[in-house]
Structure 1
Amino acid sequence: MASISALGVGSGMDLSGLLDQLAAAEKQKLTPIAQQQQSYQTKISAFGKLESALAKFREAAQDLDDPKQFQAVKKTLTGESLTATTANGAPTGTYSIEVTQTARAYSIATSGVADKDETLLGAGTLTFDMGDGESFSVNIKKDDSSLEDIRDAINEANGGVRASIISDGSDQPYRLVLSSEDSGTEGAVSEITFSGDLGGALALDQDTEVSARNALLDVNGIKVESQSNHVEEAIQDVTLNITELGTSTLELTRDDSAIKKAVGAFVDAYNDLKENMGSLSKYDAESQTAGVLLGNSTLRGIESQLRGVLSGGLEQGDFRLLSDMGITLQRDGTLEIDDDDLDDAIAENAAGMSAFFAGVGGNDGLAAKLDDTLGGMLDDGGSLDNVTDGLNASIDSLQDTYDRTNERISATIERYRTQFSQLDSLVSQMNSTSSYLTQQFDALSAITKS
């Protein structure tokens, strides 16, 4: 049988076009598989959005699980001897702070040399004895004994002393200045020793010595000493930064607005979550379109669990329900704040609110209960993890089905191609035979007539 290089050439039939139509028809078998994969992928994306909203709500709930959140303070500072930063939990009150001495670091300079780049007399060792009992040494080689080399060697040692070079404008202007990295007596240098040939090249100028000292202050009559001008815990959860001598007054009062802001952030985060869940599960009758997770059991379970915790409240305490402090659950599932009721609760019983949200005496508050519930949704092995794992497994299974179906389609098309090629060759041969016979009959007819 003759070989046909292209379908339809031998027969004159559009076998190639027919094969393309058959291939397109076979490929339609892949469409529902791909569509199912896409639907699962869309659900995974939807659960990702839900996870993000749940995580933000969890963060807002965790913020309320700290009793210090309900001990927020605001400060009023008069005087210029210091600045102050406060943390939640700082005790309210008025503090008179008198700074009688600022902290400073030890420093001393060497005698001058004419050239900071010039090599000095030779090698040697510098030894530094520190105020805290520690010591360290720096070895100087003869070829690396310029003032700049010595400065760099000291700084690279990181022993608690920093070296720098200054010029005093004299005939021998360059001096090596040695300073403690830390202020106060513990960070001071108690003794500096030059040994070897270096001792003949450098000497300390005692007139330049600045002794180390600690900061001294009086806080409401209590004497306080600090190694630095950065004073912590002289007042609980307050950091004082001394700037100069003098007296300042620090007044700490409870910051009710910060408490209200934290509670408001909690309510807003839940309402954002509720809106997110609603958009994923709603049905638009006008456009007849459904949310990606409409009727999804995982989403319904999450909504039910959160609503149960929020409406269940606590079994004991001054506040047992969110509504006791002006936070009510609406018909649409969102939370709403009555500002007047919440303001009254904060002003009259911030400690009771702390117990409600953050717990007290080893008993969990609402925030901890929510965190446990949300953990069952968000943590590894939680409900969202499980549902997305299941969807990914389904996508992988569908991909296997897609690949197998595609292979069967390819085999079917190849079989059609072979059959069409055989048909093309057969029709071509029959056409050739027909043409030959026609010629023979025509010749025979001509002979007969003549």
Structure 2
Amino acid sequence: MSDMRIGGLASGMDTDQMIKDLMKAERLPLDKMEQKKTYMEWQRDDYRDINKQLFEFSNSIFDGVMKQATYTQKSVNVSDPNAISVKNINSTSDFSGSIEVHRMATAATMFGSGQITDPDDPQKAAGMSTKLGDLFGIGLDEEKSITVKAVNKDGILEEKTLTFSMDTTFQGMINKINSETGVSMFYDPHEKKMAVTAKNTGNNENGPEIEFSGDLVSHLKLDDNNNMAVTNGHGSYGLNADITYNGLRTKRTSNTFSINGFELTLKNQTTSPVTFSSSPDTEKILEKIVKFVDDYNKLIEKVNGELGEKKYRDFQPLTASQKEAMEEKEIELWEEKAKSGTLRNDSVLSSALNKMRTDLYSPISGGTSETNQLAQIGIKTSSNYLERGKLIIDENKLKEAISKDPNAIYELFAKDGGTTSEKGLARRLRETISTTIDSIEKKAGKSTSTNTTFTLGRNLDSIQDQMDRFEDRLVQIEDRYWRQFTAMEKAIQKANSQSMYLMQQFSM
């Protein structure tokens, strides 16, 4: 139990206020530690904000100017778009040609030789929710299977065997066949017959394109294969597309196929050749390069701003007691200046900026293209020194370079190599950014880091330990003040009592 505190009863002094005032003076070192801790937390958060922007810029580079797909975007002109369509897939070179469509590829089909009807009323179509056992007169506890072979994209049969409980509905059986095999099955309630189409077009040179076998085939009133169905008058063969491409008569199993990195889709039969040609999609490629330049300029503007931001040493972080005495707007204006300059002249960021500039302006060695510097494609540094390395684009020159050889620009940005000088500009930048991110993380960690794993975190733990020890010391000091004032009050009270006693004795 602590000693009882007596607050000015005998002396008439405001002991409580006097001790508070004394403790304010005692707390000054603690307030400074708290301000130092707050400033380090701001610094840590500012470092992490820079790292976030570096990470986002690195990803933007990877998804933009470093991707080959950026430079393979092409504008394709087709003389008859209703007959064919042409799309670039991965061709880095321009392409052109002509194609005549003599016949479209078609899928094999077949439909039932007999009707499947309601077991209770042969005049009605079978119900889609009817169980297979009831529909086919089989015990519900039995299982039956069907094996489906269907032609794939290469014109080869692929096989799948499915087993059904007779408790399965008619619709459930059809859904499973459609989802797991190479055919699409359909029951027509008007004709009361099954219809089947191969999912892939084209001809199987070795036989039918659709084959069925198993317990359920006879119940579905289907022939064993589409060739047999054709013979019986209820089916069709799968046919290959018949085309003449650049003068060569040839066939394809599908109406969509690739040649030399671009994709052709046949839409209609033609009576004369359809021509097509490609050229770089200058606008789309330009858009990606402009985004890279804009993102780079925003990043260096942010980093330069942090490096040169003024530090207001007279504006220290506010303590909790200081904030209590201020208006919200005053706090906001104060902290705006107190937070300024946390990364001023930071060596890691200064080094990163210098390295990034070197990455961009040093020519690439050992490439297959004559394009080895940004200036050759219309990108150069601003002549305004205040803009600190901002990139400026000459759009006309850049468009000309894109039209001439987009692959050369891809190499300029993305070329790999054994040394830094042999690597593309964007590849160099990403390596510099990665090194910078690692250095900043050693200083400031990331949101998932524990304080012991980075420098500022360890400093924060250390100052918190100092603050905790100082708090304990303040408690002891406050107790000492109270003991001293209480002793004084007791002494005054005793003296007052003695004085009153003597006065009483003299008055007798």
Correspondence for 1:135 among 159, 163, 173: 159
Give the distance between the partners of 1:40 and 1:216, measured in 2 at CA.
74
Q: Deviations over 1:354-401 (max 9, x none)?
A: 554454999988762542353143259733333434994223323332
Q: 1:8 to 1:83 in 2, by over 3 A?
A: farther
Residue segments in structure 1 that go unaligned for 5+ positions in a row: none
Rounded to whole Å, the distance in 1 between the matches of 2:252 and 2:405 is 37
1:222 aligns with 2:274: no
2:379 equivalent to 1:375: no
Q: Deviations over 1:84-138 (max 9, x none)?
A: 3224635434322223333343443443212321512114332223343443333
Say if 1:379 and 1:95 are closer, same or farther in 2 by CA, change over 3 A.
Answer: same
2:77 is aligned with 1:76: yes
* Distance change in 2, residues 1:100/1:11 (3 Å): farther
Alignment partner of 1:183 out of 193, 201, 221: 201
User: Cα distance 1:442–1:393, how it changes in 2: closer, same or farther (>3 A)?
Assistant: same
Paired position in structure 2 for 1:105: 107
- Decide which of 440, 451, 475 is 1:384's aligned counterpart: 440
Correspondent of 2:463 among 401, 416, 423: 401
Q: Normalized against structure 1, the TM-score is what?
A: 0.78
Is the Cα contact below 8 Å between 1:70 and 1:351 reproduced in 2? yes
Q: Structure 1 residues 414, 38: CA separation in 2 closer, same or farther (over 3 Å shift)? A: closer
Asked whether the 8 Å contact 1:94–1:249 carries over to 2, the reply is yes
Change (3 A) 1:339 1:199: closer
Q: Does 1:204 align with 2:226?
A: no
Map of 1:334 onto structure 2: 390
1:241 aligned to which of 237, 248, 265: 265
Give the letter for the 2:50 counterpart.
L
Equivalent residues in 2 for 1:279-290, closer than 5 Å: 279-283=305-309
Which residue, out of 456, 460, 472, partners 1:410? 472
Q: Do 1:215 and 1:225's aligned partners in 2 also have CA atoms closer than 8 Å? A: yes
1:248–1:214: structure 2 CA closer, same or farther, 3 Å change rule?
same
CA offset at residue 56 of structure 1? 5.3
What is the CA distance between 1:350 and its match in structure 2?
A: 5.7
Matches of residues 2-13 of structure 1 in structure 2 within 5 Å?
A: 4=4, 7-8=7-8, 13=13
| Structure with the higher strand share, 1 or 2 | 1
Q: Which residue of 2 aligns with 1:19?
A: 19
2:145 corresponding residue in structure 1: 125
Q: State the 1:176 CA deviation.
A: 3.8
User: Match for residue 33 of structure 1?
Assistant: 33
Tell me the residue number matched to 2:350. Answer: 300
Deviations 1:61-97 (A, max 9, x none): 5544566755543111232023232246354343222
Q: CA deviation at 1:280?
A: 1.4
* SS of 1:44 mapped into structure 2: helix
Q: Is 1:440 paired with 2:501? A: yes
What SS does the aligned partner of 1:140 have?
strand
Deviation at 1:179, TM superposition (A): 3.8
Conserved? CA contact 1:10–1:424, under 8 Å: no
What is the aligned-residue identity percentage?
17
Aligned residues: 435
The residue type paired with residue 334 of structure 1 is K
Looking at structure 2, the residues matched to 102 and 263 of structure 1 have their Cα atoms a distance apart, in angstroms, of: 41
In structure 1, the residue corresponding to 2:459 is in which secondary structure? Answer: helix
Between the aligned partners of 2:435 and 2:208, the Cα distance in structure 1 is 51
State how far apart, in whole Å, the 1-side matches of 2:275 and 2:220 are.
Answer: 49
Aligned pair in 2 of structure 1 residues 364, 244: CA closer, same or farther (>3 Å)?
farther
Residues 224, 7 of structure 1: CA spacing in aligned structure 2 closer, same or farther, 3 A cutoff?
farther
Provide Cα deviations, 1:277-332, integer angstroms capped at 9, x if missing partner.
22212256999976443211112211221222333223566344433443332342
Query: Helix, strand or coil for the counterpart of 1:204?
Result: coil
Distance 1:256 1:381 in 2: 34
Residues 64 and 367 of structure 1 are in contact (CA less than 8 Å); yes or no, is this contact kept in structure 2? no
CA deviation digits over 1:10-60, x for unaligned, max 9? 765433333333444343323333333333333334334433444455456
State the match for 1:47 in structure 2.
47
Q: TM-score, normalised by structure 2?
A: 0.71
Q: Which amino acid aligns with 1:405?
A: M
Q: What's the CA shift string for 1:207-260, capped at 9, x where partnerless?
A: 5434333333332223443333332x22x2222233332364322123444454
Q: Which amino acid aligns with 2:461?
A: Q
Partner amino acid, structure 1, of 2:146: L
Q: Residues 376, 141 of structure 1: CA spacing in aligned structure 2 closer, same or farther, 3 A cutoff?
A: same
Counterpart-to-counterpart distance in 2, 1:93 and 1:383 = 47
What SS does structure 2 have at the residue aligned with 1:203?
Answer: coil
Residue aligning to 1:276: 302
Unaligned runs of 5+ in 2: 119-125, 224-228, 315-336, 446-450
Change (3 A) 1:81 1:14: same
